[in-house]
Chains A and B, each alone.
Chain A
Amino acid sequence: MGAMSIHFLLTKLARGIITLLLAMTFVFFVLRASGDPAQIMLADDASPAAMEAFREHWGLDRSYLEQYFAYLGSVIRGDFGVSFRDGRPALEVIAERIPATLQLGAAALLLTLVIGIPAGVFAALRRGSWVDHLTMTGTIFGHSIPNFFLGILLILLFSMTLRWLPSSGTGTIWHLLMPAVTLGTASAATIARFTRSSMLDILNKPFMRTAKAKGITPKNRVLRHALPNAAIPVVTVVGMRIGGLIGGAVTIETVFAWPGIGLLLVNAVSQRDLAVVQGVILLIALTMVIVNLIVDLTYGWLDPRIEVHNKRKATA
């Protein structure tokens, strides 16, 4: 058991490291393929001396292989280059935006779980009823509406017409409300759908009938027996949705002028501040790797059988 857990962990860790390496290679490749990095990364009016210093710093006079390893080395040390907008290290520029995005992301994720999971559970328990139909219709709408359009509609309604909520900026919980709802809607819809189908699967299992026969109350049957078993596919989807939340944050932060990573990225892309762009990309890759690792570990914790299965698949 212990050996298997370590094997499982190491496989997942290796996967994560490969993903990170791929992300770094991708950025390196794209950066080199798009022209002379010295010219692109520095401002147009950079002096020849600065260009030369930059080339030397990144080892641009050496072979591509050497450059590649030099690049990996500096990225791993956290050196993403200098943002040409304000001359500070890109990492510093990015770091000060992280709290805002974390706040928005956490609020959206919370909404996703608090709305998505109960909605899915109730729809499954009352299958075919109006609750079920309403939830399912809601999920299709929630999934299809572009998040930036939803944001605009909310601004029109709550900021422009009713004048209840601020349309942009940050500071109070009222500022957070609309962006978090907008960002969480699509994810909540996805989670509700998956929770419903996962619950339906479990509710038909023989052990649920056994539980009923044993006289366990409906509440306990759902909370103690059905939900933990139905949670496994839902955890995967939650993990996948975090990628969606990060992608969504880019547009949502722009709609609501929320000063996070997403808004920073959009501005950096329009101004071609490439040091910041590559920093954000690699940071998001790192986040995704960590999220996936957590999801995999949660699996093993929710269902110890999964690692056995996984091992078999790996050796087959």
Chain B
Amino acid sequence: MTSVDFSEGLRERRRYRFLTRIWKSRPSLVIGLCIFWLVFVVFTALFAQAIAPFGYAEQSLLERLNPPAFMGGSSKYWLGSDNLGRDVLSRVLYAMRTSILIAVMATIIGATVGTVLGIVAAHFRGWVDDVIMVMVDFQASMPFLIVALAVLAFFGNNFVLLVILIGLFGWDGYARIARGLVLSTNGQGYAHAIRTLGVHPAKVYWRHVVPNMMGVILVQVTLNFPEIILLETSLSFLGLGVQPPATSLGLLLGEGRNYLATAWWIGVPAGVVIFLTTLSVSLLGDWIRDKLDPNLQDKSE
């Protein structure tokens, strides 16, 4: 029996345990609605072109500031049109694509960077650990919106920088979790046993420690993702995130702010979408956390 066989067996049992646990539990109506909304959001983000009745920049200056169809406006514009005669519904759909795309990429960046740094800190200990933890403390103590604004001020705005910047928000949470989990698993017998068999530490982490972490990391994602959406939409709302002609949910709300008195429908739908999305992820996160940690559930009930 080689060391590879041994680790394969362990992996199969451990890797997706958290998924089976979630799968087996019955979601309530509210959770069902949350899942439905999030599926809808992802679907829209993927197929915005096919769904949207108009292009996001398609102007029609004769049809400016049309109220939504349900308020007696033209039936051509379900949610009305904005100050340049652009269809609000289409713009919201395209904005969902941008905002979700940025949020997903940023979450992946933050989770990866944070988890890797956390593992590195726990593996090497000593000064490496100290340096990383000082960075974690620094990150946690500064309001990130401010840091992001500063970097955008110094470097100017571009899409790649924006995504990377938003991605670096929240890495400290993942780092702290990963570090703690690695420190505790390293003390456990199985990690020691595998290492004694001569398996490279990187492989031990990748095959055994990381899969074990996935449940906790997933919960952290559900906490981090809404905050990332809020960060991007805040920056765009301030006019310092996504730049026109591209759209983002925050940018739409920012544009709508100037027409609150006359045409509230320009901004409000985008705000509702942001709200429903962050709300759904938060509720879903709470629910997953309960399912993953039976101890926690006992305590709160």
Contacts and interface: CB of A to CB of B under 8 A. Distances in A.
A22 B261 contact: no
Contacts of B80: none
A273 B267 CA distance: 29
B19 interface: no
A270 B279 contact: no
Interface in B126-171: 134-135, 137-138, 140-147, 149-156
B141 A19 contact: yes
A217 B240 CA distance: 56
A156 B257 CA distance: 10
Contact of B253 (A19, A149, A288): A149
Interface stretch (A47-55, A78-86, A140-148, A218-226): A140-148
B151 A148 contact: no
Contacts of A40: 154
A153 interface: yes
Interface in A42-77: none
Contact of A277 (B150, B253, B271): B150
A91 interface: no
Listed residue (A143, A197, A278) with the most chain B CB atoms within 10 angstroms of its CB: A143
A247 B143 contact: yes
A255 interface: yes
A113 B145 CA distance: 23
A148 B237 contact: yes
Given A140-B279, A200-B300, A281 B141 contact: no
Listed residue (B146, B230, B275) with the most chain A CB atoms within 10 angstroms of its CB: B146
B278 A255 contact: no
A273 to B, nearest CB: 8
Nearest to B301: A128
Contacts, number: 133
B29 to A, nearest CB: 14
B151 A146 contact: no
B234 A160 contact: no
Contacts of B134: 18, 22
A250 B271 contact: no
A183 interface: no
B238 A246 contact: no
B279 A144 contact: yes
Contact of A281 (B146, B240, B267): B146
A269 B271 contact: no
Given A160-B261, A246-B143, A281-B147, A152 B138 contact: no
A218 B275 CA distance: 39
Contact of B234 (A148, A197, A268, A289): A148
B282 interface: yes
B42 interface: no
Nearest to B261: A160
B233 interface: yes
B121 to A, nearest CB: 16
Given A34-B155, A269-B153, A277-B153, A19 B261 contact: no
A31 B153 CA distance: 10
Contacts of B152: 269
Interface residues of B, number: 47
Contacts of B234: 146, 148, 250-251
Listed residue (A40, A250, A278, A284) with the most chain B CB atoms within 10 angstroms of its CB: A250
A99 interface: no
Given A146-B275, A152-B271, A266-B149, A243 B264 contact: no
Size category of the A interface is 35 or more
Interface in A258-306: 265-266, 268-270, 272, 274, 277-278, 280-281, 284-285, 288-289, 292
Contact of B283 (A140, A247, A277): A140
Contacts of B140: 240
A45 B103 CA distance: 39
A181 B88 CA distance: 29
Given A140-B283, A156-B264, A148 B253 contact: yes
Contacts of A140: 279, 282-283, 286
A23 B150 CA distance: 12
B111 interface: no
A5 interface: no
B149 A22 contact: no
Interface string B70-114: 000000000000000000000000000000000000000000000
A250 B257 contact: no
A30 interface: yes
A229 interface: no
Contact of B154 (A34, A251, A280): A34
Contacts of B267: 152
Given A34-B155, A152-B260, A280-B146, 11 more contacts: A19-B141, A22-B134, A22-B138, A149-B275, A152-B257, A247-B145, A250-B149, A265-B149, A266-B238, A269-B149, A270-B239
Interface of B: 134-135, 137-138, 140-147, 149-156, 226, 230, 233-234, 237-240, 250, 253, 256-257, 260-261, 264, 267-268, 271, 274-275, 278-279, 282-283, 286, 299-300
25 contacts: A19-B137, A19-B138, A23-B142, A30-B154, A140-B279, A146-B253, A146-B274, A148-B237, A149-B274, A152-B260, A152-B268, A153-B268, A156-B268, A160-B261, A200-B299, A250-B145, A250-B238, A269-B149, A269-B240, A270-B239, A272-B156, A274-B153, A274-B154, A289-B141, A292-B141
Listed from nearest, the 7 A-B pairs whose CB atoms lie closest are A247-B143, A149-B271, A144-B279, A269-B153, A247-B145, A34-B154, A144-B278
